[in-house]
Each structure stands twice: as structure tokens, then as C-alpha cells.
């Protein structure tokens, strides 16, 4: 692979890490906000005169619409100012979360839930694209790892903050949504500090010649969509991540119900917190490790790390489920190991690889389309999991042993083609960007 001798004095984009911290703050609030509805529901439905089972349709409809509109937000992030989208839709859009506190019946609740959840589909596609222009390839794992780790800490934060508020009085749940909404609006002001450089600013072929004007020549058009489908590594990510996410969706969706069935009571929160903590720490560590491996082994380092992590996570998750009835100590040990295994693929391997094979102007759309497919498969898996539990006479453990280790094993096999597709797709992108470099220089 040929490279261009860009000077070492080429300045890095400004406010890179400040941008990461702002995006991380938004990720923390989005994660907390996403869980707030489920956490506060036990206090909400008696207050509103609803049935406990109505939680399913409310979450299902709003999550489906959010998933289906994700590609639209990806297109917007590739076509428009990412900073503007993040400030207004990820940040100030949170005012709709405050409106949930004003609901008095099912119709009002459903409308504002849908509106508030639509804003949750913007952050990750826009951030995925933005981070690839703020950081070189060998630094992207750390940046994404920090953001994702902070996002997972939002899950812990929501469980620590919201339940004590909800029990104050029958209507106190409304204050939980007010707090989440205000926090989201405040992140909108914080997001104003991010830097939104021209697309391609951190690519070695372009970083010393790209400007906002020259980048506009390669702005995303709908006619460019087939270019995403031509990237074989993108298809590997689509199938592998969709199957892999079945295990994650089922694990987190059933964890509290399963642990309560084991008789843990309040200790269930400790186990889930350790599982989340392992995932949080893993994203930060494997993001850093993936960068180190790419620096030494550009073509295979990240892919190899992910392959090992996938295999180890199968063992850890199987142990977590199979030995769960042997006491909380085993659950805590395997839960921590499972969390580490689950996080070994995304920020250190999967997403930096995607950033290295997709054109700069197609990255948000490519990521958003993946997220939509992953979300749909996860929703189907959750529906199927409930039916399996009924088939097994309410035995959640048997269902977990079928829908977690087996999809993880299949996903580990689906990852293998990445060792062949990634080097070729990375070279193809290098050739495209090199051609753009010559076009930009020739037009001056």
C-alpha cells in the first residue's frame, strides 16, 4: 500500500478531546434517558390508571419507529452539519422528555414517548462520523472506547438516581423525567463546544489538503448509496453484529427477571452492575488495545483481538448462565468476565474497522443502516425469547442457554471473513482518497 508523505507538522483538528467529552456527556444522558421509562414504569402506571402490561406496546412502538428512522438521521449527519444536529436533536430535543412528566393518559404518554425517543437515534451515527474526522485511524478506538464506556455508566447512573426519586410519593416519577430532560438540554449547550472538521480531515491522504470547500465536492448523494454495499467488510459487520446482538439484547432484557427467579432479590442489581461495569471498563481498555494493535499490525490486529474476545465471551456467558444457581459469587465473577468479553469487539475493532473502509461522507449512513438492521433483529429475538420461555414452562435459564451462547458462537464464525475482506477494502478506500488528493491538488 502506498502512502503519502504528509508533513508531521500538519496540525491535528482542534478541541478533539473536548469534543469526545461533550459527546460522552450526551451519551451518558441518552443512555440514562433510554432506561428511565422502564425504571419509572412501576410508579407510572398506577398513577396514570394504566395496566402494567401496557409498558410493552409503548416501548415496542417507540423503539421500532426510532430504529426505522435511524438511517434518515445517518443521511442527515452525512449531508448536514453534524454539530448542528447534535446540539439541536441530541441536546435540545430532550425537552420532549420533560413533556412526559405532563402526561395524564395513554395517548399523551405514547405521543411524547415517541417524540422523545426519536432524538436518541442521532447521536451514534453522527458521533461515528465525527470521531473519524477528529482522530487518525490508530487513535479512534480510544476515543470511541471512552464515549461508549461513559454511555454504559449512564445505565448505572439511572438505576442509582431514578428509583429513590420515584418512591418519594405517587407522582414523584414525573420529576425523574424532568431531571432527564433538563440534563439533555444542558448537554445541548455543552455540544456547542465540539469541533466539526471537514469530512476526511484525519485521513493521511487528505489531511494536509482538505478544506470545507474541497470537502463539499464529495458531499453525500443518494446516488452514492451503492458504494456502501460494495464494501464486503460492511456486509460482514451487518451479519456478524446482527447475530451477535441477539445475545446482548436477550441478556440485558431478561437479566433482572432471571436473577429474581434465582432468588437474589435486591442483590440482582449488584450482579447487573458488575456486568455493566465489566462492559464499561472493557470498552475503555479494548479501545486503547485496538489502537496499539493497529499501530503494530494494521491489517489484522483489530480483527484478531475481536476474534479472541468473541470466543472468550462464549465461555464467560455460558458460565454466567450455567453456574448462576450456585451463588452470587459465581454470578459476580462470570458477570464481570462476560462484560469484558462483550466489550472486546465494538470500540476497539468493529467500529474503527468500519471507519477505515467507508468513505468519509458515507460513514454516518453506513453506521445508521447497520444500527437499524441490528435493532430489528434484536427486537425479533426479544419477542422470540418470550415465546421460548412459555414453551419451556417458564424456565428462563434454558431460554438463555439457547439464545446467548449459540448466537455468540455463530457470530464468532461470521467474523472470520473479516481477515480477508478488511485489508482489501482498506486498500480500496486508500485508492479512492488518493485519487481525491490528486483532484484537489490539481484544482488549485
The CATH number covering residue 356 comes to: 1.20.1250.20
Q: Which residues of 124-163 are buried (b: 16+ CB within 10 A; e: fewer)?
A: bbbbbbbbbbbbebbbbbbbbbbbbbbbbbbbbbbbebbb
Is 409 part of a structural domain of the chain?
yes
Positive or negative, the CA dihedral 86, 26, 129, 371 is: negative
Please check whether residue 284 lies inside any domain of the structure.
Answer: yes
Q: Are residues 167 and 270 in the same domain?
A: no
Question: Has residue 90 been placed in a domain?
Answer: yes
pTM beyond 0.95? no
Q: Are residues 286 and 145 in the same domain?
A: no
Write down which residue in 197, 218, 252 finishes a domain.
197
Here the cell at position 240 is 456478524
Task: Put residue 265 in one of left, alpha, beta given phi > 0 → left and psi -120 to 50 → alpha.
Answer: left
Yes or no: say if 23 and 147 are a contact pair by the CB < 8 Å rule.
yes
13 DSSP assignment: P
Instruction: Output the nine-digit C-alpha cell for 7.
Output: 508533513
CA dihedral 314, 318, 324, 330 (to 10 degrees): -50
- Same structural domain, 261 and 191: no
Residue-level pLDDT at 223: 87
Buried b or exposed e, range 288-312, using 16+ CB within 10 angstroms? bbbbebbeeebeebbbebbbebbeb
Domain boundary among 197, 218, 253: 197
Which residue in the block uniquely carries the three cell numbers 436477550? 250
pLDDT for residue 292: 97
How high is the pLDDT of residue 403?
94
Alpha carbon 364 to chain centroid distance? 13
Is residue 29 within 8 Å of 184, Cβ to Cβ? Answer: yes
Same structural domain, 260 and 113 = no
Quick check: is 37 in a domain? Answer: yes
Note whether 301 and 406 are same-domain residues.
yes
Handedness of CA 298, 304, 310, 313 (dihedral sign): negative
Same domain, 191 and 308: no
Cell of 307: 476474534
Whether residue 63 is contained in a domain is answered as yes
Helix H or strand E encompassing 412: helix 405-415
Residues 175 and 251 in one domain: no
* Residues 6 or more apart whose Cβ sits within 8 Å of residue 415: 236, 240, 303, 306, 307, 310, 345
**250 and 379 inside one domain:** yes
Q: Is residue 101 part of a domain?
A: yes
Q: How far apart are the first and last CA of the chain?
A: 26
From residue 232, give the alpha-carbon distance in Å to each of 244, 358, 380, 431.
Answer: 18, 10, 25, 16
Q: What is the pLDDT at residue 10?
A: 66
CA distance 74 to 248: 23
**Shared domain check, 247 and 183:** no
Residues 193 and 248 in one domain: no
Q: Are 139 and 84 in contact (CB under 8 A)?
A: no
Are residues 35 and 169 located together in one domain of the fold? Answer: yes
**Domain count for the chain:** 2
Per the domain annotation, does 330 fall within a domain?
yes
Q: What is the mean pLDDT of each run of 10 residues along the chain (444 residues)?
A: 49 90 95 87 92 82 87 94 96 94 94 90 95 95 95 86 91 95 96 95 93 90 91 98 93 82 80 85 95 95 96 94 86 90 91 96 96 90 87 91 96 98 97 95 82
Angle at 250 between CA 277 and CA 100, to 5 degrees: 80
- Neighbouring CB atoms inside 10 A of 122's CB total 28
Contact in structure between 348 and 302 (CB atoms under 8 Å):
yes
Domain range for residue 36?
A: 14-197
Q: What is the pLDDT of residue 9?
A: 57
205 within some domain:
no
232, 176: one domain: no
Amino acid at each position: 500500500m502506498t502512502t503519502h508523505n504528509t508533513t508531521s507538522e500538519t496540525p491535528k483538528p482542534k478541541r478533539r478531546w473536548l469534543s469526545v467529552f461533550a459527546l460522552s456527556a450526551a451519551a451518558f444522558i441518552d443512555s440514562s434517558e433510554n432506561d428511565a421509562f422502564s425504571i419509572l414504569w412501576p410508579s407510572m402506571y398506577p398513577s396514570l390508571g394504566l395496566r402494567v402490561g401496557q409498558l410493552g406496546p409503548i416501548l415496542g412502538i417507540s423503539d421500532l419507529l426510532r430504529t426505522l428512522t435511524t438511517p434518515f438521521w445517518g443521511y442527515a449527519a452525512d449531508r448536514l452539519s453534524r454539530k448542528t444536529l447534535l446540539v439541536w436533536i441530541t441536546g435540545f430535543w430532550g425537552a420532549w422528555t420533560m413533556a412526559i412528566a405532563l402526561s395524564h393518559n395513554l395517548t399523551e404518554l405514547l405521543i411524547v414517548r415517541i417524540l422523545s425517543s426519536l432524538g436518541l437515534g442521532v447521536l451514534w451515527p453522527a458521533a461515528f462520523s465525527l470521531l473519524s474526522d477528529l482522530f487518525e485511524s490508530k487513535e479512534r478506538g480510544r476515543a470511541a472506547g471512552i464515549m461508549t464506556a461513559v454511555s454504559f455508566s449512564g445505565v448505572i447512573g439511572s438505576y442509582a438516581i431514578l428509583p429513590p426519586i420515584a418512591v418519594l410519593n405517587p407522582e414523584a416519577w414525573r420529576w425523574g423525567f424532568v431531571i432527564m430532560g433538563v440534563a439533555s438540554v444542558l448537554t445541548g449547550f455543552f455540544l456547542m463546544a465540539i469541533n466539526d472538521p471537514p469530512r476526511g480531515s484525519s485521513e493521511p491522504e487528505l489531511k494536509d489538503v482538505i478544506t470545507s470547500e474541497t470537502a463539499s465536492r464529495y458531499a453525500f448523494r443518494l446516488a452514492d448509496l451503492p458504494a456502501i454495499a460494495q464494501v464486503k467488510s460492511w456486509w460482514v459487520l451487518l451479519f456478524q453484529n446482527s447475530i451477535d446482538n441477539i445475545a446482548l439484547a436477550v441478556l440485558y432484557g431478561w437479566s433482572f427477571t432471571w436473577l429474581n427467579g434465582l432468588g437474589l432479590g435486591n442483590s440482582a442489581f449488584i450482579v447487573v452492575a458488575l456486568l455493566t461495569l465489566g462492559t464499561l471498563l472493557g470498552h475503555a481498555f479494548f479501545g486503547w488495545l485496538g489502537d496499539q494493535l493497529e499501530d503494530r499490525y494494521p491489517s489484522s490486529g483489530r480483527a484478531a483481538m475481536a476474534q479472541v474476545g468473541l470466543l472468550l465471551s462464549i465461555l464467560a456467558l455460558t458460565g454466567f448462565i450455567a453456574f448462576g444457581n450456585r451463588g452470587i459469587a459465581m454470578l459476580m465473577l462470570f458477570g464481570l468476565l462476560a462484560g469484558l468479553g462483550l466489550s472486546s469487539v465494538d470500540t476497539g475493532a468493529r467500529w474503527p474497522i468500519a471507519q477505515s473502509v467507508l468513505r468519509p461522507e458515507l460513514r454516518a449512513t453506513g453506521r445508521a443502516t447497520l444500527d437499524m438492521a441490528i435493532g430489528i433483529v434484536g427486537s425479533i429475538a426479544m419477542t422470540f425469547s418470550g415465546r421460548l420461555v412459555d414453551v419451556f414452562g417458564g424456565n428462563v435459564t434454558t431460554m438463555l442457554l439457547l439464545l446467548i451462547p449459540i448466537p455468540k458462537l455463530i457470530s464468532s464464525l461470521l467474523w472470520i471473513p473479516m481477515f480477508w475482506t478488511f485489508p482489501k477494502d482498506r486498500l480500496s478506500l486508500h485508492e479512492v482518497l488518493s485519487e481525491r488528493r490528486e483532484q484537489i491538488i490539481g484544482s488549485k
